[in-house]
């Protein structure tokens, strides 16, 4: 009786140890050991900037890789898991695009009629340059898209109905229209 109980316990112990052994092998092969430290010296300038963006730190005043690397080191240890998630986030943000509205109906169709989510729309006045430059707009789109905010650009000069309204209403508001 005791011998059977001993062998049964030994059997379960061997199964438990083997399961943990194979699990550790799978973790090692797939890189799940996210607690391993990464040396920032070995990373490219672009990867260092991505890590700083994910940590919420600004790097615009740091022109050299050495300075950016030092800021990464001062902001905390860099783990493999953090590097992996930062690179995945960067890949996802590269595929994010901003909608260019072709006219009033397109705008109403996507924004007003559906009431689907939150929109950030840059309105460009007739024959004028946008208030937010292209580079800054793309950075803003990346940052707000993390929170599920959709973005778009509405160029008033591409919609003839808006041009007529602007010509009618602007003089009444005491504004001058340069055409």
Q: CB of 45 within 8 A of CB of 71?
A: no
**For the segment 47-83, what is each residue's pLDDT rounded down to a tens digit?**
888 888 888 888 778 788 888 888 888 888 887 777 7
Q: Does some domain include residue 49?
A: yes
Q: Does some domain include residue 166?
A: yes
Dihedral sign, Cα of residue 99, residue 105, residue 108, residue 113: negative
Burial class (CB in 10 A: 0-12, 13-18, 19+), 141: buried
Q: Does some domain include residue 177?
A: no
The pLDDT of residue 93 is 61
**For the segment 92-109, what is each residue's pLDDT rounded down to a tens digit?**
665 667 788 777 777 777
Q: Does some domain include residue 28?
A: yes
**For the segment 10-38, what is each residue's pLDDT rounded down to a tens digit?**
999 999 999 888 888 777 766 655 567 77
What is the value of pTM for the model shown?
Answer: 0.43
Q: Does some domain include residue 78?
A: no
Q: Does some domain include residue 37?
A: yes
* Domain range for 146: 107-172
Tell me how many domains the chain contains.
2
End-to-end Cα spacing for the chain: 101
Out of 42, 58, 74, a domain closes at 58
Q: Does some domain include residue 179?
A: no
Q: Does some domain include residue 80?
A: no
């Amino acid at each position: 009786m005791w011998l059977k109980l001993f062998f049964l316990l030994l059997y379960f112990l061997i199964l438990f140890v083997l399961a943990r052994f194979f699990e550790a092998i799978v973790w090692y092969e797939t890189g799940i050991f996210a607690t391993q430290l990464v040396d920032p010296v070995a990373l490219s300038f672009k990867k260092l900037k991505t890590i700083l963006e994910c940590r919420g730190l600004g790097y615009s005043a740091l022109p050299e890789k050495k300075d950016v690397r030092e800021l990464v080191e001062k902001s905390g240890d860099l783990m493999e898991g953090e590097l992996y998630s930062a690179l995945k986030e960067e890949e996802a943000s590269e595929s994010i695009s901003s909608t260019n509205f072709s006219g009033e109906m397109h705008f109403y169709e996507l924004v007003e009629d559906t009431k689907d989510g939150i929109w950030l729309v840059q309105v460009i006045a007739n024959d004028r340059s946008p208030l937010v430059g292209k580079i800054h707009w793309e950075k803003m789109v990346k940052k707000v898209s993390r929170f599920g905010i959709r973005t778009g650009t509405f160029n008033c000069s591409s919609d003839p109905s808006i041009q007529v309204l602007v010509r009618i209403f602007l003089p009444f508001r005491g504004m001058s229209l340069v055409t």
